[in-house]
Amino acid sequence: MPLLVDAGSPNRAGVPRPGSDDRLGLRMGFSATRDRMAALRSGAGAGLLTVVMLLVVVVIAADFVTPPETAFFWLILLVPMFAATLLRPWTVGVVGLVAALMVWVMAERNGPSGTTNQAVRLGAILGITLLSTGFAHRLGVLERRAQRGAEQEATLAAIVRSSEDAVITTDLAGVITTWNDGATRQYGWRPDEAIGRYIALVYTRDEISVMPDTLAGLRAGARRGPIEARRVRKDGSNVVVLASMWPVRDDHGRVFSVARIERDLTVVKEAEEQRRRIIERTALAERLECLGQLAGGVAHDFNNLLAININYLDFVLERTVDAEERSDLTRARSSAERAQELTRQLLLFARQEPSVAKVIDLDSVIEESCALLRRTIGDHVELIARPSPQPLAVCADRGRIEQVLLNLVINARDAMPDGGTVVIEAGPVQLDEDPDRLPPLPAGPYAQLKVSDTGEGMPPSVAARIFEPFFTTKAKQQGTGLGLATVYSIVTEAGGDITVSSTPQVGTTFRILLPEVTAVAASEAGAAGTARGGSRSHILVAEDDAEVRGITVRILEGAGYRVTEAENGRAALDRIHRQTFDLLMTDILMPEMSGSRLAETVRLHHPGIRILLISGYNEETARVRHLVIDGIPMIHKPFTAKEVLDAVRQALGAGTGEMRDHVAVSAHGSGASPPKTTGPPGE
């Protein structure tokens, strides 16, 4: 690529070219340096050559008026000068010595009569030789300087040419005079297309409007930048660049050109956007964690109240005969059950609801869920299922995956009030190692579950907040804002991730990735404990909440058990020392002595007493808080009479050491298989 260009090359379509008065040979600063070095070298050499040529003319003229010996001397005198033009001082010295030797030979031939003249001529030869040697040395220095300047210029030209940044120069009117390969890559214009056109070629309309002021400042000697600016590529797309502009001056300090370097910030902007997404996802995870802890605490206290309400309603229902009263009580109990379901959803969102992760076939989950979903979403929405072409197994809680599908499909239905299509499809995907992936899922095989709709779609501002808890776009009383937050919690708990892409008036697609496993596990058979219900077993109930304790005692006594109450751990331990019990039912959290410490003490000193723990937390949360003891079953609040009696019968019918494998009654009455490991017990 030439660094010296003519701004007056033929015109092309697009931005107009300047007039003929502006068509000047323009150079960058390093081009001017090259020319000065060449001029210095050629000027010095030409001066010496001119002197030599004048002497040749004088000798030729003198040949007609002087004797041959004199003419021959003048010719010999020219030899060192010619040698000096070779730029080698040692060559001049050798030639001078040869010339002096020739003069000496001539003096010997002429004898004593020519001694004086020959001595003068010999001195002249030596003087010319020394002078020519100096010229040769000086010319050599200039030649080496010029060579170094040329090398530096070539290096600089290569740097400019190979730079990833756009390096551009213009004249003071804004006409492009140089255009490197980086500018071609960045803007798409070749040098022959860009050179000679105004710099407005790559400017946006806003930049063009302020370009006269910018050029005026540069002509005045002011620098500009680095600034972030928007440019236009040849294909019309925009690119954000970091631009720096400065004036180029000649030897007299006059501004004759403008140089600029513009760096494409696309990669930087992408990195900033990725960093922003990481920060947003981290902030979302932290908000979810905080809200989860809050929800878990609220649900724990609420479960105590629900246990009281539900069981007292059951007691009243047992004694009520009037149909109208029973109907009212049944409605009240249904309301309490809805509150129980809301509490369960809060615990699920907070990851404090027990889950049973098993290897399941994703296609079978989709098939069974679609049968229910088609009846749920109505006839105005078409539901299409596209199962995986190959078996697809994941390790997750089947019920929770069904809940994920239910939430996503219901949301899709609500986004299509006039009807539309929902597509559920599954398939395998392979993720490669990518440290920049968000979220940072490990490489390996994954099961992909996609739920797409042809609904109203969402703007980016809504899609960015769609997984935030309590955020909803539905009308008041039509949504809690926990649906998609719960979906997010379920998917991430299973080791996967969920993303959303949406276009207004086109539709929305949720994409779920779950780690794929190798085989589908066989169905598990439920374990049934032996029953000893209805016997006269003696049970000690330790519970600090008097109402919960009263309900529990009433349930047990109604089933025929002998029951003793204790308001805290120390009172329970005192009664155990004085009486004989078959079973200890104790709340985990109590004042003075926790249920966990009470259970450890009883198991150590009274191994014949079986133990059943009661908690408003789920087992995972209780385990994190060091409230769970290996080998001791647990029942969760709020519980019904049936759940209490089933847990008691199983606890009395199995050894303490094997109960952990069989009993874990959840807040909504389903079994769970908790992990076997735990931390040390504590308060």
| 364 and 509 fall within a common domain | yes
* Residue 588 shares a structural domain with residue 657: yes
Q: What are phi and psi of 26, to 5 degrees?
A: -105, 140
> Which amino acid, residue 344?
R
Q: H helices of 188-265, where?
A: 191-194, 205-219
Based on its alpha-carbon atoms, the radius of gyration of the chain, rounded to whole angstroms, reads 48
Asked if the structure places residue 600 within a domain, the reply is yes
How far is residue 662's CA from residue 647's CA, in Å, rounded to a whole number? 10
The domain boundary residue, chosen from 330, 349, 368: 349
The CATH number of whichever domain residue 467 belongs to comes to 3.30.565.10
Inside any domain, residue 170: yes
Is there a single domain that holds both residue 281 and residue 374?
A: no
Answer yes or no: do 255 and 285 share one domain: no
- 582 found inside a domain: yes
Q: Is residue 667 part of a domain?
A: no
Tell me which residue range forms the domain holding 40: 29-159
**In-domain check, residue 532:** no
CB 81 within 8 A of CB 95: no
Q: How far is CA 342 from CA 444, 470, 630, in A?
A: 36, 13, 30
CATH number at residue 278: 1.10.287
Residues 209 and 311 in one domain: no
Cβ neighbour number for residue 586 with a 10 Å cutoff = 28
Question: Do 350 and 299 contact (CB within 8 A), yes or no?
Answer: yes
Residue 339: CB atoms within 10 Å: 17
Give the SS3 label for residue 678. coil
Decide if 607 is inside a domain.
Answer: yes
Q: How distant, in Å, are the alpha carbons of 240, 400, 621 from that of 287?
A: 34, 22, 18
- 180 within a domain of the structure (yes/no): yes
Looking at the structure, tell me whether residues 138 and 172 fall in a common domain. no
CATH code for the domain of 618 = 3.40.50.2300
Pairing label, strands 420-431, 25-26: unpaired
What single-letter amino acid sits at 296? G
Q: Are residues 314 and 197 in the same domain?
A: no
- Alpha-carbon distance 651 to 657, whole Å? 10
Q: For position 348, what pLDDT does the model report? A: 61
Say how far residue 595 (Cα) sits from the centre of its chain.
47
Distance CA 66, CA 528 (A): 141
pLDDT tens per residue, range 453-495:
998 888 888 888 888 776 776 655 455 566 788 888 888 888 8
Q: Are residues 152 and 171 in the same domain?
A: no
CATH number of the domain bearing residue 185 = 3.30.450.20
Query: Are 124 and 207 in the same domain?
Result: no
CB 179 within 8 A of CB 189: yes
Count of domains observed in the chain? 5
- pLDDT tens digits, residue range 236-293? 888 889 989 999 988 888 899 999 998 888 888 888 887 877 777 677 667 666 766 6
* Within a domain: 643: yes
Q: What crossing angle do the helices spanning 483-493 and 398-414 adopt, rounded to 10°?
A: 150
The domain boundary, picked from 159, 175, 208, lies at 159
218 shares a domain with 326: no
Counting beta carbons within 10 angstroms of the beta carbon of residue 270, is it exposed (0 to 12), middle (13 to 18) or buried (19 or more)? exposed
All residue ranges of the chain with pLDDT < 50 are: 1-46, 48, 54, 59-66, 87, 112-116, 477, 520-534, 655-683
Q: What is the pTM of this model?
A: 0.39
Q: Is 628 left (phi over 0), alpha (psi -120 to 50) or beta?
A: beta
- Indicate whether 386 and 238 sit together in one domain: no
Q: Which of 134, 159, 184 is the last residue of a domain?
A: 159
pLDDT for 273: 80
Query: Based on the domain organization, do 396 and 509 belong to the same domain?
Result: yes
